[in-house]
């Protein structure tokens, strides 16, 4: 066991876990489970990257407030990083997003300002910028910040390459999100292991769960051409696959993780005998208890067992 100087030092080095029951015969499947980050998602990497970069460039000063528009995971991650660093954090979040994420941010001492559902993603982004401008706060700009993919080039990609050193890795499957994981890790894998096929899982409709509108990314260096192919995933399939990972593998993950692993299962159907497939699972399922992921899940007694 290691001793760390800060909770932030535990970000990264997430485990790669073999899939034993859901993997079809003839292929090996693994997942990199980002829920092992202290804030419960891959966005811990993004949040730490943005704050460290801002400190190095003198863009944020002690006692300053950090502001961001977020659908949840980035906000939770920034709230955690800011708590550990001593910054105040204010999140702007559309009122449609799950209550669990609001409470998680507040648990870290953050303030959450809800924006009208009718304004969708663009509304919370606009209001976050207005607040930052008015109060002289640091705006994280997750969708425009080069520190995001850069951090994945320096951490996530090398971690995967190290863990698979001397082993086959035929397929790497990941989602898009802000694009940082896909671009940063994907570029490093493609550079070091040109034989590995990079697959991008995308929702078959514009909004997988959150209803978040698609926005073109402005981060310098984000590149969809890193992917050799893209696999569309239906939202119900994503939900059911996330549930299957919990029930068959003991891996409790969010719906985007389910979507990515569903794409990996599609790849497995056409993969060659002996192929090795790695899928990224970006977060835990615990922040989706009130969402579509748990729709229809019983909250009372399991009647068929009640009298046993």
Residue range 224-258, pLDDT digits in tens: 678 899 999 999 999 999 999 999 999 999 999 99
**Do 7-41+156-293 and 43-139 show the same overall fold?**
yes
Residue 249 tokens read as 């593998």
- Of 138, 196, 133, 139, nearest to 164 by C-alpha is 196
pTM of this prediction? 0.92
**Lowest-confidence range among 116-125, 216-225, 269-278, 296-305?**
216-225
CB–CB of 280/260 below 8 Å? Answer: yes
Question: For the sheet containing 65-69, what is the strand order?
Answer: 111-115, 88-94, 65-69, 138-139
Residue-range domain boundaries for the chain: 7-41+156-293, 43-139
- Locus of tokens 């640091």: 138
- Of 246, 147, 168, 241, nearest to 201 by C-alpha is 241
Q: What is the DSSP letter of 280?
A: E
Residue percentage of the chain with pLDDT more than 90: 74
CB–CB of 173/280 below 8 Å? Answer: yes
Q: Is 43 marked active-site?
A: yes
Q: Is 88 marked active-site?
A: no
Of 98, 150, 210, 256, catalytic = 256
Write down the CATH number for the domain with range 43-139: 3.40.50.1100
Question: Taking residues 164-178, what's their average pLDDT?
Answer: 93
Residue 268 tokens read as 């497995």
Q: Look at residue 18 in the predicted model and tell me its pLDDT.
A: 98
Residue 250 tokens read as 């003991």
Classify the C-alpha dihedral 277-282-287-288 as positive or negative.
Answer: negative
Q: Is it true that domain 7-41+156-293 has CATH number 3.40.50.1100?
A: yes
Of 41, 43, 71, 210, catalytic = 43
SS3 (DSSP) at 303 = helix
Is pLDDT of 212 > 80?
Answer: no
Confidence band for 1, pLDDT divided at 50, 70 and 90: low
CB–CB of 275/48 below 8 Å? Answer: no
> Residue 87 — left, alpha, or beta (φ > 0 → left; ψ -120 to 50 → alpha)?
beta
Confidence band for 205, pLDDT divided at 50, 70 and 90: low
| 197 sits in which H/E element | strand 197-203
Q: What is the pLDDT of residues 249-298, one digit of tens each?
A: 999 999 999 999 999 999 999 999 999 999 999 999 999 998 889 998 88
- Of 199, 181, 207, nearest to 261 by C-alpha is 199
Classify the C-alpha dihedral 124-144-203-17 as positive or negative.
Answer: negative
């Amino acid at each position: 066991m290691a001793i760390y100087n800060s909770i932030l030092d535990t970000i990264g080095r997430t485990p790669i876990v073999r899939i034993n029951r859901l993997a079809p015969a003839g292929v090996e499947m693994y997942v990199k489970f980002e829920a092992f980050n202290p804030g419960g998602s891959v966005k811990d990497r993004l949040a730490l990257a943005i704050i460290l970069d801002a400190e190095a460039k003198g863009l944020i000063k002690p006692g300053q407030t950090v502001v961001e528009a977020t659908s949840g995971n980035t906000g939770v991650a920034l709230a955690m990083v800011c708590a550990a660093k001593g910054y105040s954090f204010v999140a702007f979040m559309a009122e449609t997003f799950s209550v669990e994420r609001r409470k998680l941010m507040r648990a870290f001492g953050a303030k959450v300002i809800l924006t009208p559902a009718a304004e969708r993603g663009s509304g919370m982004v606009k209001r976050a910028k207005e607040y930052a401008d008015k109060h002289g706060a640091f705006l994280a700009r997750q969708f425009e910040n080069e520190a995001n993919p850069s951090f994945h080039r320096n951490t996530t990609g090398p971690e995967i390459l190290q863990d698979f050193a001397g082993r086959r890795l035929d397929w790497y499957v990941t989602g898009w999100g802000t694009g940082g994981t896909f671009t940063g890790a994907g570029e490093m894998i493609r550079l070091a292991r040109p034989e590995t096929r990079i697959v991008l899982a995308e929702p078959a409709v514009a909004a997988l769960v959150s209803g978040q509108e698609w926005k073109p990314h402005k981060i310098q260096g984000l590149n969809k051409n890193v992917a050799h192919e893209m696999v569309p995933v239906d939202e119900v399939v994503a939900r059911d696959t996330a549930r299957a990972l919990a029930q068959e593998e003991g891996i409790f993950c969010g719906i985007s993780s389910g979507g990515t692993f569903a794409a990996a299962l599609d790849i497995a159907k056409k993969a060659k005998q002996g192929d090795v497939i790695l899928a990224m699972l970006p977060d835990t399922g615990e922040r989706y208890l009130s969402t579509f992921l748990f729709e229809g899940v019983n909250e009372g007694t399991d009647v068929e067992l009640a009298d046993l």
